[in-house]
Structure 1
Amino acid sequence: MSPTGERVAMATDELQATLPPAVTVYERSVYSDGDSTFALVNDADGKRRLYVAGPAIADFDGGTVQGDGQVFPLTYGNAMALAEVFPWLEPTTAGRQSAFGFGDRIGLATPGHVRAVRDSDLVPVFAQQSIREMDRTGRSPEDVLATAIFGVFQEGYEGGFVADADHLMAREDVERTAGVGFTMFTCDPSEHVVADADSMSEEKVEAAFAQIEDSEAILDRYAGETFEAKTDGFTWSDSFSEIELKRAAVKYYEAIEFAEELYGWVAQAVDGDFDFEVSVDETETPTTHLEHALIASELDRRGVEVTSLAPRFVGSLEKGIDYIGDLNEFEADLKGHVAIAETYGPYRLSLHSGSDKFSIYPFFEEYASDYQHVKTAGTSYLEAIRVVAENDPDLYREIHAFALERFDEDKATYHVNTDLSNVPDIDDLTDDEFPKILDQDDGRQLLHITYGSVLSATDENGEFRFKDDLLGTLREYEDDHYAFLEEHLGHHVDLLTGEIED
């Protein structure tokens, strides 16, 4: 049962009988509220639309008559109207519950994501996208949220979900995403992290530290202090030397101040509860346990209520492939970060670039199962490309060639060690061998990193070169798309929750 409406028992066939044969009803989406009936349908042109019959028709815009009711476009306004009827469609917060982020760069993946997480205890984040990703894919906060809502409705999923405005760096972006209904806000202070502080000479550290307005207070608060943290079976304690404290302050203090400022913007923009994450993972060097404890202490002192924090873990967390590094070292690093998160929060540890990090998921399940937040995005795009590779080889061949042209420029914003010489020459493969490229690390990264260029590329007439054909293929082979997502993302979820062992 939903809060205001209920699933219509055995009504799909009855509804289908009132519609043209070319229009199909998504069975899990058929609901009633009072005298009105609602469903998501796949219309004759292959596009999804919202079907409404009864008095509720007046609450939606852009309808055309279809059977006994009307069908409406899947706009943001219509998504909000539907959520008024069924409040379980409104994004919620996760608080400190473990969560999993599903980034959908295309706008068609949510039903597959729902199937991957439906039987899990993880709180799903179905709407998760950064402003940078939206700009690269030609989307908006309204579009990202609307596609998530309609995907949830299509699957009849009443378990609740979060909407994450990821990698926020500007006040206007906070206000844009808060204004349309996002409930989680991820602060990206990377521009304020002095990444080369780790390699500075002591003289340069001293000079840079002296420029911090709060420098003497930092020494008063933390010089000589022992930081301690404890969790089941693990105890940690350590203290900074004076030069180490100054180095950590030079590296992170401006970022901490920015996080406090952005938190204030969110608090002003949101009327109600929200989740707040601070991400310091986008640096070349790992966040030490002492640095983590310092960041947590300062955020707490400033009244910043963090629900998750993303440190830079040891090893390499490249896009779209498994973890690179010493697993024993990672395990030890994670245990310390977990203890700090539980002691100084509690808050969740967030793993960014979490796609396909299968070898380290068991550690998260063992040590951080109650306080974990894993974010994925590009791996869902790769599953969309897999649909193309299996069903439209000519389109895949064009996308692959274009990705090779764009790779050197597009990789500038990523930390990867992709070797394109390892990518199979597409001319040496038969059509049915194309999906193998998506099972090879360098091939995955080639396609992952160039997603923005592929989705935004236009021809001399201003028409999309690939996007419309890509979307058309995904609609035509919708069942494959959902099945690939369910299997691949479901494997992530199962490992993180201990349902299977890798």
Structure 2
Amino acid sequence: MASEGDGGTILEGPLSAKNAAMVRAKMPVLKPRPIGLLASAGVGDRLGLATAGQVRAFRKSGSGIMPVFAQQSAREMDRLGRTPQRVLDDATFGCLQAGWDRPVGADADHLKSTDEVDRCLDAGFTSFTLDPGDHVRHLEGEPSDAQLAELPWGELEDTADAMMRRYAGRSIDLGDSVLRIPEGDIRFAAAKYGPAVAHVVSMYRHLMGRAKHPVEVEVSVDETDDVTTLIEHVYLATEMKRLGMEWVSFAPRYVGRFEKGVDYIGDRDELYRSLVQHSNIARAFGPYKISLHSGSDKFSIYDLVVEATGRLVHLKTSGTNYLVALDIAAQFAPELFREVYEVSREAYRGARSSYHVSAQLDRTPDIGEVPDERLPDLVASFDSRQILHVGYGAVLRTEDGTGPSSADAALRELLETRVDEYESLLESHIGRHLAPFSLMETR
């Protein structure tokens, strides 16, 4: 319904998919669009309530950064019972609530199948992170001729001999050095990543064949066991390009450890050198952006990432927004937080298998030993923070997974009651992520 307000018309109605579509029709700026090579940041939201606070962060600290408010992986959507349409619509309503009137993207993250592509495409997503990580092989030693023969050469539209001729004597200028490509390294790269190339090309062709609106692609192999070497990056880029793919960003498996919810673990100098070289490869074959997955809370490396990439970069955060919500619970609803903490600890052994984490349960305290005023410390401490981060599915869904849990309802009620504190904490925390990537340094 509509009523007259000061200086305009007030529209009232349910937060439905139909009304979200009408909002995007009346305010085309809120209709997601491809991002291209602009510096960008995805700030996913497990609860669908964080967008207004994230908008505040972008306004204050995100100058020159394209925001992606609608971002969630297929894995998280399935665990939470959220549809791609709901993810997109929640972001639309959050932008409307906060008065955001600038362009936005929408990232369907870590898609592993064409069915997942279809669901997100039909909802209106414009960025598709294709993840062929399940098809990346872990190899011990040099691959044999038999292992190479097993590659899906038909799908790759190639042969082993043709591949080796293609790379023979090849080198890549990395600016301050030249990357030469030995035959053995290409054999290894093909054996390791060949099936992944075949799979991602198949997904890409399916997406492009079905898309009725502008879309773009990121390729992600970050959730794999082994570091992506420079020659493997060259192999992936060469083969995807040969098979007709175009992409705007790429996420390799980096050196060091990009664990969930905590700072970077590893040698910063080594990471910087690696990022510079991966960025040079991205410029040579694209240009395309280097994408920083599991990028939340990596405060010690943001400056060097900006320097290494020249802002040709995409930052991805997600679960850290959920941790902000739990911080509010720790401060203002101690009994609810104690329940969340206990459920997360119980679920950790199973939940951890999907994520890069190293938290140990025996390094976290029994909740009964922690006084109310110390509960926020559990959100900040390494082990308990990771346990809380990956326990969201058990916390927010019923035990049989058929619907939202009582804790989900209680957390939502709390955040709506403490909306000012919640948005303020999001502004501060997400803003701390954005500031190093901003055109106007705000630190």
Report the TM-score, using the length of structure 2 for normalisation. Answer: 0.93
Q: Aligned residue for 2:96?
A: 153
Note the 1:77-156 alignment, pairs <5 A: 77-119=18-60, 120-156=63-99
Distance 1:427 1:189, change over 3 A: same
Residues in 1 aligned to 2:408 and 2:32: alpha-carbon distance in whole angstroms: 28
Q: Aligned residue for 1:228?
A: 173
Q: Unaligned regions of 5+ residues in structure 2, if any? A: 154-158
Q: Aligned residue for 2:373?
A: 432
Residues in 1 aligned to 2:400 and 2:203: alpha-carbon distance in whole angstroms: 39
Paired AA for residue 225 in structure 1: R
Q: CA deviation at 1:457?
A: 2.5
Kindly indicate whether the alpha-carbon contact (under 8 Å) linking 1:205 and 1:247 is maintained by their aligned counterparts in 2.
no
Tell me, yes or no, if structure 1 residue 337 matches structure 2 residue 278.
yes
Aligned residues: percent identity?
39
Residues in 2 aligned to 1:143 and 1:314: alpha-carbon distance in whole angstroms: 35
Paired AA for residue 367 in structure 1: A
Report the TM-score, using the length of structure 1 for normalisation. Answer: 0.83
Tell me, yes or no, if structure 1 residue 211 matches structure 2 residue 150.
yes
Q: CA deviation at 1:357?
A: 0.7
Q: CA RMSD in A?
A: 2.0
Residues in 1 aligned to 2:354 and 2:372: alpha-carbon distance in whole angstroms: 32
Note the 1:308-323 alignment, pairs <5 A: 308-323=249-264
Q: CA deviation at 1:318?
A: 0.3
Q: 1:15 aligns with which of 2, 5, 9?
A: 5
Q: Secondary structure at the match of 2:177?
A: strand
Kindly indicate whether the alpha-carbon contact (under 8 Å) linking 1:98 and 1:369 is maintained by their aligned counterparts in 2.
no
Q: Aligned residue for 1:442?
A: 383
Distance 1:392 1:132, change over 3 A: same
Q: Aligned residue for 1:328?
A: 269
Kindly indicate whether the alpha-carbon contact (under 8 Å) linking 1:308 and 1:350 is maintained by their aligned counterparts in 2.
yes
Q: CA deviation at 1:123?
A: 0.4
Residues in 1 aligned to 2:305 and 2:358: alpha-carbon distance in whole angstroms: 25
Note the 1:126-275 alignment, pairs <5 A: 126-194=69-137, 196-197=138-139, 199-200=140-141, 202=142, 204-212=143-151, 213=153, 214-230=159-175, 235-275=176-216
Query: How many residues are treated as equivalent by the alignment?
Result: 433
Residues in 2 aligned to 1:382 and 1:302: alpha-carbon distance in whole angstroms: 41
Distance 1:346 1:437, change over 3 A: same
Q: CA deviation at 1:462?
A: 7.2
More displaced, 176-185 or 268-277?
A: 268-277
Q: CA deviation at 1:426?
A: 2.2
More displaced, 136-145 or 239-248?
A: 239-248
Kindly indicate whether the alpha-carbon contact (under 8 Å) linking 2:395 and 2:405 is maintained by their aligned counterparts in 1.
no
Residues in 2 aligned to 1:101 and 1:193: alpha-carbon distance in whole angstroms: 25
Higher RCO (Cα < 8 Å, 6 or more apart): 2
Tell me, yes or no, if structure 1 residue 464 matches structure 2 residue 405.
yes
Q: Higher Cα Rg: structure 1 or 2?
A: 1
Q: Aligned residue for 1:23?
A: none
Kindly indicate whether the alpha-carbon contact (under 8 Å) linking 1:236 and 1:339 is maintained by their aligned counterparts in 2.
no
Distance 1:236 1:255, change over 3 A: farther
Q: CA deviation at 1:415?
A: 2.3
Q: Aligned residue for 2:393?
A: 452
Runs of 4+ aligned structure 1 residues displaced above 4 Å come to 458-463, 498-502
Residues in 2 aligned to 1:106 and 1:397: alpha-carbon distance in whole angstroms: 19
Q: Aligned residue for 2:417?
A: 476
Residues in 2 aligned to 1:490 and 1:501: alpha-carbon distance in whole angstroms: 9
Kindly indicate whether the alpha-carbon contact (under 8 Å) linking 2:81 and 2:403 is maintained by their aligned counterparts in 1.
no
Q: CA deviation at 1:461?
A: 11
Distance 1:501 1:82, change over 3 A: closer
Deviations 1:359-417 (A, max 9, x none): 11101221224310010101000001111111100111111111111111111212221
Distance 1:280 1:219, change over 3 A: same
